[in-house]
């Protein structure tokens, strides 16, 4: 500590006072009141010292970092040299050895059956709904009011909706009143039976051979996977031997037509499109004319993603429908609404409002594999009586599958 005591403290204090005095005089010259001058001088001095210290710290950090970066550069160069030598060594080996290497096995996902893929896709929904129901019923000896209240909460939070939940709870209470429901173990089976009834209601089947060309108008809000769904459907129909034409009616979204062109190339089908910003009804008109002239079996018409709350955009859907009907009597034969399963009850709201503007014939539910809200399928069927035609259980081109209610119930309540 001797060095610390030996510092010229008296000179430093005098220098500091001189600096403060100079700053006070400077502040006086710019009109700072006398009572604030000394305080302001100290503040300026403190700020100046702080800036100097920060600059010094930054200088030290930069100085210490340079050797490290240099070492990293040397190490990176050595590693690159080793990789180059290794690559050259591999290339210098006889070509015959590469022939002897076994071909990579096909991906496991391709070998999975539809049932297994659906089971994997519904795992989150199964855990959210059936798993919680089973936990509730386990160990119960009687059906009381508390059990029914907890069951009601599970059904609502699994996105079955209030109306559907009340319907299911009412069926349970009616069966209990008729002495048909005695033990908690029977609750599970009764739920299965009631859900099967909801999902297997009478509806118009999707028969693409009922008209030629069979026109499917695809609608939905932005971001639900509408264009991707069209591309996957086109691929499926083309593989079935159908002649398919796609209409790029989404003229508002940037690169929407280009995205559909890519899907058309993958499925090897023709795409009718206009420039960005063109009238969607004009695209519908040209697509309908082309489908008739080329004797296409199916016309899939994309439409601009729109918020279900925008009245003017919903009115445009009606105009497109009128154009199609004028060119191909009875068209569109199927109005397919694409919904994102991950949005839960919001998907039901979208379906209700779209159904008011343009009566729906079917629904394609995407992203079912990434959500615990698959119960929305049941809510839609119960409240709208609109069939779910397709479900998306993955990102591959063949992961959009026709919806099978029996298989859905079977997978959902599979206890294995």
Residue 18 has pLDDT above 80, yes or no: no
Of the listed ranges 31-45, 140-154, 242-256, the one predicted with least confidence: 31-45
Average pLDDT over residues 70-91: 46
- Nearest residue to 379 (alpha-carbon basis) of 407, 339, 406: 339
Q: Which helix (H) or strand (E) is 270 found in, with range?
A: strand 270-272
pLDDT computed for residue 114 by the predictor: 63
- Nearest residue to 333 (alpha-carbon basis) of 383, 303, 297: 297
Most confident of 170-179, 228-237, 247-256: 228-237
Sheet containing 298-303, strands listed edge to edge, beginning at the edge strand earlier in sequence: 270-272, 244-249, 298-303, 214-219, 334-340, 362-366, 388-392, 400-402
Residue 343 has pLDDT above 60, yes or no: yes
Average pLDDT over residues 88-107: 38
Residue 12 has pLDDT above 60, yes or no: yes
pLDDT computed for residue 123 by the predictor: 79
- 302-314, pLDDT tens digit by residue? 988 766 556 677 7
Average pLDDT over residues 13-20: 72
* Alpha-helical segments (H) within 158-303: 162-177, 185-199, 226-239, 256-267, 280-293
Q: Which helix (H) or strand (E) is 401 found in, with range?
A: strand 400-402
Q: What is d(CA 118, CA 369) in angstroms, rounded to the nearest whole number? A: 8
**Number of Cβ within a 10 Å radius of residue 257:** 23
Residue 71 has pLDDT above 50, yes or no: no
- pLDDT over 90, % of the chain: 25
Of the listed ranges 43-47, 113-117, 161-165, 182-186, the one predicted with least confidence: 113-117
pLDDT computed for residue 64 by the predictor: 64
- More confident site: 90 or 54: 54
The predicted model scores a pTM of 0.68
- 202-246, pLDDT tens digit by residue? 777 889 999 999 999 999 988 888 999 999 999 999 999 999 999
- More confident site: 68 or 211: 211
Average pLDDT over the chain, rounded to an integer: 80
pLDDT band at 93 (very low <50, low <70, confident <90, very high): very low
Residue 84 has pLDDT above 50, yes or no: no
- Nearest residue to 218 (alpha-carbon basis) of 210, 203, 200, 206: 206
């Amino acid at each position: 500590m001797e060095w610390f005591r030996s510092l010229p403290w008296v000179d430093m204090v005098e220098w500091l006072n001189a600096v403060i005095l100079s700053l006070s005089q400077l502040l006086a010259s710019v009109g700072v009141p006398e009572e604030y001058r000394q305080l302001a001088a100290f503040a300026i001095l403190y700020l100046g010292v702080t800036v100097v210290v920060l600059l010094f710290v930054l200088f030290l950090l930069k100085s210490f970092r340079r050797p490290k970066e240099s070492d990293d550069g040397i190490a990176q160069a050595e590693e690159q040299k080793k990789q180059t030598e290794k690559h050259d060594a591999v290339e210098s080996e006889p070509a015959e050895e590469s022939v002897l290497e076994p071909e990579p096995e096909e991906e496991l996902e391709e070998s999975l059956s539809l049932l297994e893929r659906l089971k994997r896709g519904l795992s989150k929904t199964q855990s959210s709904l059936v798993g919680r129901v089973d936990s509730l019923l386990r160990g119960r000896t009687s059906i009381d009011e508390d059990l029914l209240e907890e069951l009601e909460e599970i059904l609502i939070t699994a996105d079955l909706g209030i109306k559907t939940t009340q319907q299911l709870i009412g069926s349970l209470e009616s069966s209990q009143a008729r002495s048909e429901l005695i033990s908690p173990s029977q609750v599970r089976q009764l739920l299965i039976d009631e859900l099967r009834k909801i999902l297997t209601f009478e509806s118009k089947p999707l028969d693409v051979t009922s008209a030629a060309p069979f026109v499917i108008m695809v609608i939905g809000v932005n971001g639900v996977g509408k264009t991707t769904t069209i591309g996957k459907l086109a691929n499926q129909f083309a593989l079935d031997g159908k002649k398919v034409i796609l209409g790029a009616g989404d003229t508002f979204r940037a690169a929407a037509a280009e995205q559909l062109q890519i899907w058309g190339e993958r499925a090897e089908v023709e795409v009718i499109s206009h420039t960005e910003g063109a009238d969607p009804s004009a695209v519908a008109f040209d697509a309908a004319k082309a489908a008739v002239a080329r004797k296409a079996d199916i016309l899939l018409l994309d439409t601009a993603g729109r918020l279900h709350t925008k009245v003017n955009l919903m009115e445009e859907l009606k105009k497109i429908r009128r154009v199609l009907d004028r060119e191909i009597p009875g068209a569109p034969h199927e109005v397919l609404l694409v919904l994102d399963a991950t949005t839960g009850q919001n998907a039901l709201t979208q379906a209700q409002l779209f159904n008011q503007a343009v009566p729906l014939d079917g629904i394609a539910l995407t992203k079912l594999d990434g959500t615990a809200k698959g119960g929305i399928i049941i809510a839609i069927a119960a409240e709208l009586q609109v069939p779910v035609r397709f479900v998306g259980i993955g990102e591959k081109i063949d992961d959009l599958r026709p919806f099978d209610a029996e298989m859905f119930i079977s997978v959902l309540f599979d206890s294995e």
